[in-house]
Structure 1
């Protein structure tokens, strides 16, 4: 009987933990600046896409400087590209620096140091009223 109680208690705990982890981000309560930037870094450097859909605004703009030309991508184009590299770990060292921050928006510089070059991403995160979301990413290669 004691074993049965232990098994039932263990299963109840497992179900409760699983339900707690599955809390949606719809209310924005869990969409913090830190969560947004960590999710972005995980997607870009480790190919981990979980939560990225929640932290990137529907109208987000992604730009990169290619020579003297600026190339712009939509959210959907970036997501398609990231899905091709899902779970692929980049061979780089990553660092983040907050450039500007206030109660409405934050700009974070994400440097990805590869062997022969650095990719600097300037990530703008805005307080949308439904949590902090990425609204703009500008990438420069050095």
Structure 2
């Protein structure tokens, strides 16, 4: 039942994001946190890298907890990774939920469920004065 609720919530969020982005002009699309999170999900899960560099802040940090080791990457390394995996769709089910949100900061939980494991990403988006950018992504594998 919990999985069904999460899935329905994720689909509702995706629908809201689609409707919200439908009315945003191309010049103003970065004015919404939904643009940044949708761009991130598309890049990581579907290999669609368009606008990835625009959605990520120059000082963004990407961290992964793998066992007892933390791996860290910067924007350039992550950008290269998504470009190397361009047009490769992941075999996973994706759900998103907003953990916390206010006028300056939004934290979104992105769960990618594979057959053997679950990758949970906590994506922090910051309002950088008129545009929302991804500033931190922390990934945990279970």
Q: TM bucket by the smaller chain?
A: 0.7 to 0.9
Cα shift readout 1:49-88 (whole Å, capped 9, x = no counterpart):
0011111000000000011121110110111111111000
TM-score normalised by structure 2 residue count: 0.79
- Structure 1 equivalent of residue 91 of structure 2: 91
Q: After TM superposition, list the pairs within 5 Å mapping 1:1-142 onto structure 2.
A: 25=27, 29-31=28-30, 32-142=32-142
| TM-score computed with the length of structure 1 as normaliser | 0.79
> What is the CA–CA distance in structure 2 between the aligned matches of 1:24 and 1:58, rounded to whole Å?
21
**1-structure distance, mates of 2:78, 2:29:** 23
The Cα of 1:24 is off from its aligned counterpart by: 6.2
Report the alpha carbon displacement of residue 130 of structure 1 after superposing the two structures with TM: 3.7
Going by fraction, where is helix more abundant, 1 or 2?
2
- Which deviates further from its counterpart, 56-65 or 78-87? 78-87
Q: Deviations over 1:3-56 (max 9, x none)?
A: xxxxxxxxxxxxxxxxxxxx764xxx3211111111100000000000111110
Query: What's 1:17 paired with?
Result: none
Name the larger-Rg structure.
1
Q: Write the distance in 1 (CA, Å) between the matches of 2:98 and 2:58.
A: 23
Unaligned residue ranges in structure 2 (runs of 5+): 1-24
Runs of 4+ in 1 over 3 A off after TM superposition: none
Q: Distance in 2 between matches of 1:82 and 1:54?
A: 14
- How many residue pairs get aligned? The number is 117
Q: What value does the CA root-mean-square deviation take over the aligned residues?
A: 1.2
Structure 1's unaligned 5+ residue stretches are: 1-22
